[in-house]
Amino acid sequence: MNETAKTFINSLEGLRKQKEDVHARLKEIDEQINRRSNELRALVAAGVGTGDRLRDLVISYAGYWPELEDRCRAVEAAMEGRTGELVLICYPSRECTRHRFGFGWDTEEREAYRMGILSGPNLILRKDHTFNMLTLPVGAYIEGFVHPHGHFAPFEEKDVHKDNLFCVYHSFVGRPPSLSSLLQEKGDFWKDYLLIGDEAVKVWMEEKRMEELLPHALRALAGLVPQVA
Residue 215: what residue type? P
From the list 178, 166, 197, the residue with the least C-alpha distance to 68 is 178
Q: What is the pLDDT of residue 148?
A: 64
The number of angstroms, rounded, from the C-alpha of 20 to the middle of its chain's C-alpha atoms is: 36
The domain spans of the chain are 3-67, 74-221
Q: pLDDT tens-digit profile of 106-131?
A: 666 778 899 999 999 999 998 776 67
Q: pLDDT tens-digit profile of 14-45?
A: 999 999 999 999 999 999 999 999 999 999 98
Distance CA 168, CA 11 (A): 49
Residue environment code for 37-56, b if the CB has 16+ CB neighbours within 10 A, otherwise e: eeebbeebeeeeeeeeeebb
DSSP state of 220: H
Predicted structure pTM score: 0.79
Higher pLDDT, 165 or 174: 165
Is the pLDDT assigned to residue 228 strictly greater than 50?
A: no
Calculate what percentage of the chain has a pLDDT beyond 70: 80
Give the pLDDT mean for 141-148: 81
Residue 95: what residue type? E
Give the pLDDT mean for 124-152: 79
Higher pLDDT, 100 or 44: 44
Residues in the chain: 229
First to last CA, the chain: 73
Give the pLDDT mean for 178-189: 85
Binning pLDDT at 50, 70 and 90, where does residue 67 land? very high
Contact 226, 119 (CB under 8 A): yes
Q: Which residues pair with 126 in a beta bridge?
A: 133
Q: What is the pLDDT of residue 229?
A: 36
Please give the C-alpha separations between residue 75 and each of 112, 128, 202, in angstroms, as whole numbers: 21, 21, 19
From the list 221, 214, 207, the residue with the least C-alpha distance to 84 is 221
Calculate what percentage of the chain has a pLDDT beyond 90: 44
Query: For the chain, what is the mean pLDDT?
Result: 83
DSSP state of 191: G
Give the pLDDT mean for 176-188: 85
